Amino acid sequence: MKTLLHILIIAALATGSAFADTKVKAGPRKGLLLDLGGKQAEFLVEKDRSISIAVYDAALKAQPATTEVITATAEAPSGKTKIEFEKKGDLLVSKTKLPEGEGYQVVVQAKSTPDAKTKNFRIKLELHTCKECGNPEYACTCDE
């Protein structure tokens, strides 16, 4: 019985630590931070529904986008839309705008360098502003 209790405690601790890293983090521009391993990419939906990506080092110091490779897919009710990015100044900016509406998923595929392993991020597109933290809902840092 004691062994079973120990196993349950270890499983609970392991599960808790696995979910600890899923806390939403917002960047300096109030967008959603995506961890690229040593770098952070800030996903931000602009007023015109384009997406801009700012790059930061581990200390959140702004860095020009240079080696990052990012694509996205908007899974809107009207169908899937592939979104590619181009460099504009120090940012990566989407070549196309997000489809109308919200509440759908945007899947971002990001690599810190062309030869790095791809990381996938699923973002529920909710554009209204959270009254508590002031971030767009997709980047809300309030505890649920």
Residue 35 bridge partners (DSSP): 40
From residue 92, alpha-carbon distances to 10, 30, 130 in Å are 42, 16, 25
DSSP, res 136: B
Of 3-7, 21-25, 129-133, least confident by mean pLDDT is 3-7
Q: Would you report the helix, strand and coil content of the chain in percent, each value rounded to 5?
A: 15, 40, 45
Domain extents for the chain?
25-139
Q: Looking at domain 25-139, which of 2.10.260, 2.60.60, 2.60.40, 2.40.50 is its CATH number?
A: 2.60.40
SS3 assignment, position 6: helix
Q: What is the pLDDT of residues 29-70, one digit of tens each?
A: 999 999 998 899 999 999 999 999 999 999 999 999 999 999
Mean pLDDT of 10-18: 42
